[in-house]
Chains A and B, each alone.
Chain A
Amino acid sequence: MPILADLHNHSCLSPCGSLELSPRVLAAAAAAKGVGLLALTDHNSALNGPAFAAACVPFGILPLFGMEATTTEEVHVLCLFASLDAALSFGELAYSLLPSFPNDPERMGDQVYLDEEENIVGEVEHYLGAALDLGLEDIGPLVARYGGLVVPAHVDRPAFSMTSQLGFVTDGPWSAVECVRIPSTVLTRGYPLITSSDAHYPEHVGRRPFSLDAETEELAPGGYGRGVSLEALRTALSRRPRS
């Protein structure tokens, strides 16, 4: 039976995300919509990963960790990891590539991360909405080195997308391309297409999941506790429609 997947979601860690959207609220709302494979992708940070991992367990949701990275070109790219540790390591690197521009929570929004009990354990100092010192050419190979895969985000949107920044979808090691709508209004050059919710508020959760042609056992061959096989995910994504 195909699994319902949603690979683009924010939490209270993103400055533009609602403070109400904790990892637990995200997991619960996604579970209520039948989502079985869920990624947390805050802007340029994976620090809510530990709380998200714990939040997914009671619902039996397979978690993916990572972030929505902003490249130097201001193109948003989903960087997805099966391993929380890998996501956190990549997150540390990403933070070092972010400009040292302090966040102003009053104006830009809070950037808080939580522990497994959903207590606020910290606040990120630098503004996460800025662009990393990391170009689109380099992000794919770098994420691969950390064991992750990359999916250009909302390529059909008028801001922070390949189309808005570069004019078109460029070639790269993309496991899929995320669109707001399928069929896409822009040329996607044969990459597998997905939609996802890009939730910033609780009411956005589960608004655009997609069907992934894979059994749970295939995606998590070692059982739930061993997490997702990224190879299996890549294979399943390759079966998605390409136009």
Chain B
Amino acid sequence: MTIREAAEALGCEILQNEFEDSDLQGGYTSDLLSDVMANAKSGAALITIQAHKNTVAVATLAALPAIVVCNSRPVPDDMLASAKDEGIAVLRTAESQYVVSGKLYALLPAGAA
């Protein structure tokens, strides 16, 4: 399932639209960026409420192609600018990390992590 397909299935708005629509390899849910850096697997979507520029930096380092901002958190412009530079998708939803994780887990093929 690609990032755009996942965005549609999850009912997310796409705030940063310039990215390569690659297949999601899984998801990683965390609000501690150092944890994301240490443990997220490349190709996963990052599910978080940490909506700022540093989230993009960590997604870049960990090769995560998409960030799903939960709970309708405000997303600052500099985060979107930096995500555009890096070609990382920024999605947003009113739902919580728990709900988004559960839905994405069910959407992706068995074995995705």
Number of interface residues of B (CB under 8 A): 11
The answer to whether B34 and A131 have CB atoms under 8 Å apart is yes
- Chain A residues within an 8 Å CB radius of B57: 107-108, 129
Contact-residue bracket for chain A: 10 to 19
Nearest CB of chain B from residue A105's CB, rounded to whole Å: 12
**A144 close to chain B: CB less than 8 A:** no
CA distance A74 to B61 in the complex (A): 17
Q: Which of A74, A107, A108, A158 contacts B33 (CB 8 A)?
A: A74
How far apart sit A62 and B60, CA to CA, in the bound complex (Å)? 39
> In the bound complex, what is the Cα–Cα distance between A70 and B34 (angstroms)?
10
Q: A74-B32, A107-B61, A108-B61 are in contact. Are A159 and B54 (CB under 8 A)?
A: yes
With beta carbons under 8 angstroms apart, the residue of B32, B38, B50, B52 that contacts A101 is B38
Cβ of B6 under 8 Å from chain A: no
Q: Is the interface of B mostly helix, strand, loop or mixed?
A: helix
Inter-chain contacts of A70 with B (CB < 8 A): 34
Across the interface, which residues of B come within 8 angstroms of A131, CB to CB? 32-34
Q: Give which listed residue, A99, A107, A129, A158, contacts B52 with CB less than 8 A.
A: A158
- Given A99-B34, A99-B37, A99-B38, decide whether A159 and B52 contact each other with a Cβ distance below 8 A: yes
Q: Give 1 or 0 for each of B15-56: 1 = CB within 8 Å of chain A CB.
A: 000000000000000001110011000000000001010100
| Residue numbers in A under 8 Å from B50 (CB-CB) | 159
Q: Say whether A191 faces chain B, with CB atoms less than 8 Å apart.
A: no
Q: Are B33 and A101 in contact (CB under 8 A)?
A: no
Q: How far is the CB of A121 from chain B (nearest CB, A)?
A: 26
CA distance A159 to B34 in the complex (A): 13
Residues of chain B within 8 A (CB-CB) of A81 are none
Mask, A152-177, CB within 8 Å of B = 1, is 00000011100000000000000000
Tell me, in angstroms, the Cα distance from A101 to B38 when the chains sit together: 8
Q: What residue in chain A is nearest B53 (Cβ atoms)?
A: A159
Bound CA–CA A99/B39 (angstroms): 12
* Interface check A127, CB cutoff 8 A: yes
User: Which residues from chain A contact B61 at a C-beta distance below 8 Å?
Assistant: 101, 104, 107-108, 127
Among B32, B38, B61: residue with most chain A CB under 10 A: B61
B73 closest partner in A (C-beta): A158
User: Are A129 and B32 touching (Cβ within 8 A)?
Assistant: no
Closest Cβ of chain B: how far from A204's Cβ, in Å? 14
Please tell me which one of the listed residues A107, A108, A130, A158 contacts residue B34 in the complex, with CB atoms under 8 A apart.
A130
> With a CB–CB cut-off of 8 A, which chain B residues contact A73?
32
- Which chain B residue shows the least CB distance to A107? B60
B72 CB to nearest A CB, Å:
14
B contacts, CB < 8 Å to A: 32-34, 37-38, 50, 52, 54, 57, 60-61
**Known interface pairs A104-B61, A158-B52; 20 further A-B residue pairs with C-beta atoms within 8 A, sorted by A's residue number:** A73-B32, A74-B32, A74-B33, A74-B34, A99-B34, A99-B38, A101-B37, A101-B61, A107-B60, A107-B61, A108-B57, A127-B37, A129-B57, A130-B37, A131-B32, A131-B33, A131-B34, A159-B50, A159-B54, A160-B54
Q: List 10 A-B contacts (CB under 8 A).
A: A72-B34, A74-B32, A74-B33, A74-B34, A99-B37, A104-B61, A127-B37, A129-B54, A130-B34, A131-B33
- Which 8 residue pairs spanning A and B have beta carbons closest together? A131-B34, A159-B52, A130-B34, A107-B60, A74-B32, A101-B37, A99-B38, A108-B57
